[in-house]
Structure 1
Amino acid sequence: MITDTQKTVETALLIRKPARDVYEALIDPDQTSKFWFSHGSGRLDEHQTVTWNWDMYGVSTGVKVLALVPEEKISFAWGNEGMETTVEWTLTPIDGKGTFLQITEHGINGTDDEVLGKIKDSTGGFVLVLAGLKAWLEHGIRLNLVGDRFPPEIAGQKH
């Protein structure tokens, strides 16, 4: 049996840009669409709900902003009703190096197989998001990592 403390996704990466740049890229859908989703219905604003769309997969989700601390923390709930999880993005400035961005997702429920699948999918997804964000902010490159994860030519195949 998987314990509650094990039902957590954690990943992190150093982004060699100031916290204000990283924070802005995460709350502004015009920037976030360069490395994660296709488009969002608006900027993240505390206690508001926005919609994020991944047109390449025909998927969207509601994102309820729980807390915003400029240049420090973003917290939101997302997912299907009854299967919502909470995601926290923590930004830690490192003098002369940039911002260490940590992502934690918790509140994952279901059978052990469902929990393991969600942890696997979220971990892989967030790693791609971090890599895409790093490439975008540090080099202005759109890697299209999320879109290329499941190309249509292999859709329906087991991953």
Structure 2
Amino acid sequence: MVHSSDVCQCESFIRYEKTFGVTHFYSIEGVPRTGPTNVTILNITKHSALVKWTEIAAEDRLGFLQGYRISYTDSSRKKSPAVTLNASVTSYHLTGLKEKTTYRVQISGFTNAGEGPLTLSQPFSTPKYDKGELEGFVIGVCFSMTLILVFAPLTCCLVIKR
């Protein structure tokens, strides 16, 4: 339950009253009504991904938000340990992921009263190769083949002449 104070509208006191600030307090703190919104997964590599979200709206917190918990599972349903972050954080870099694996991420907010509901599951897949990694391998193979095709005949010519 949120209690707040507004500026007094009493006519007889209007010239003497000054408001220096407004504060909110909770007589009974609850768990957040919703999870964070706009959960997105960015910069996905074969071993990491960046998770971003929008904070839980003040009217849905039902208490003083202490932080967020990120939980994620891989395609084999193996759940990773939950990551706990403070309330000012709205992004997290997941690391230690397996290549060519599908993951599902969920986030919840929590107050001193407990944890709120999880967001909808956000799936993403890590690639087998990072950007540029496969191209580097192909270039290396092509360069090696070129060297073999150029130097093999030269070596054969030198050996046959002797």
Q: Do they superpose with TM above 0.5?
A: no
Q: Which has the higher contact order (CA 8 A, sep 6+)?
A: 1
| Bin of the TM-score, shorter chain as denominator length | under 0.3
Q: By percentage of residues, which structure has more helix? A: 1
